[in-house]
Amino acid sequence: GAGVSQTPSNKVTEKGKYVELRCDPISGHTALYWYRQSLGQGPEFLIYFQGTGAADDSGLPNDRFFAVRPEGSVSTLKIQRTERGDSAVYLCASSPDRVNEQFFGPGTRLTVL
Amino acid sequence: AQSVTQLDSHVSVSEGTPVLLRCNYSSSYSPSLFWYVQHPNKGLQLLLKYTSAATLVKGINGFEAEFKKSETSFHLTKPSAHMSDAAEYFCVVRLERGGNQFYFGTGTSLTVIP
């Protein structure tokens, strides 16, 4: 079956702009995670959804970052007033439940000029 | 506090020789532990996982890892390296806390020399 997909694969924007990154999880997976991976680093947890609600958003770095999952499937990560330090690969993962392994998408590479 | 530590940022082995990638974790609870592999320009792929069953876990592509509670370690091994094993490897720990965070190590880059 289809895996986790993320769009766009690459996004270049200017400092101060607003961006949206989309994640389509595996059908039926209730858990969805967002991570940020900077160059040479491991993925860093941002937020976790169980169904429609954000069960844990403690990894969001500041209030410029926000994520939604209105129908419990597709999720959108939103970044306001982007900064150069936001440049990274943003990874999405889904899981059938909160205890099993996560299945990762290919990521969106965000570059803020 | 660092929850997972990968002791080597780079490991280089010759093709056909054993692979050892080291991982130590810190947790007050019984953790779930995972190893993921990331090939260049590819998504993260699960190699194996430990979730409080057998301490020796076998994964895909001939990899295995042993959970040692006394040493708080979960090292990844493979008896014989193949060229296709060259990639970045991440040790991941899931801590039993109020949230559901998975903590990634900083990664180990494996080079296989022909």
Does the pLDDT of residue A112 top 90, yes or no? yes
- Dist CA A83 CA A61 (whole Å): 12
Report CB contact under 8 Å: B104, A105.
no
Report the range out of A26-35, A51-60, B88-97 with the highest average pLDDT: A26-35
Query: What is the CATH code of the structural domain delimited by B4-113?
Result: 2.60.40.10
Helices (H), chain A: none
Section B80-95 average pLDDT: 93
The pLDDT, as a whole number, for residue B27 is 76
pLDDT of residue A1: 58
Fold of A5-112: Immunoglobulin-like (2.60.40)
Q: Which residue has the higher pLDDT, B27 or B4?
A: B4
Question: What is the maximum alpha-carbon separation in chain B?
Answer: 47
Domain boundaries, chain B: 4-113
> What residues in A contact B94, CB-CB < 8 Å?
99
Which residue out of A7, A32, A98, A101 would a mutagenesis test of the B interface target, given it has the greatest number of B Cβ atoms within 10 Å? A101
Q: Do B101 and A45 touch (CB under 8 A)?
A: yes
- pLDDT band at residue B1 using 50, 70 and 90 as cut-offs: low
Residues from chain A contacting residue B106 (CB–CB below 8 Å): 40-42
| Pairing status of strand B32-38 against strand B87-94 | antiparallel
Chain A, nearest residue to B48 by Cα: A101
Dump pLDDT digits (tens) for B24-57: 998 777 788 999 999 987 889 999 998 877 889 9
Residues of chain B contacting A, Cβ within 8 Å: 32, 34, 36, 42-46, 49, 51, 90, 94, 98-107
The C-alpha atoms of residue A28 and residue B66 are separated, in whole angstroms, by 32
A54 vs B39 pLDDT, higher one = B39
- For residue A8, say if its preceding peptide bond is cis, omega within 30 degrees of 0: yes
Which residues, in sequence order, are bridge partners of residue A22? Answer: A7, A76
* Statement: residue A53 has pLDDT above 90: no
- Average the pLDDT over B75-92 and give the result: 96
Q: Report yes or no: B99 and B31 within 8 Å, Cβ to Cβ.
A: no
**How many other CB atoms are found less than 10 A from the CB of residue B56?**
9
> Is residue A39's pLDDT more than 90?
no
A31 touches chain B (CB under 8 A): yes
Separation in Å, CA of A37 to nearest CA in chain B: 10
Size of interface A-B (CB pairs under 8 A): 56
Q: Please tell me if residue A98 touches chain B, with a CB cutoff of 8 Å.
A: yes
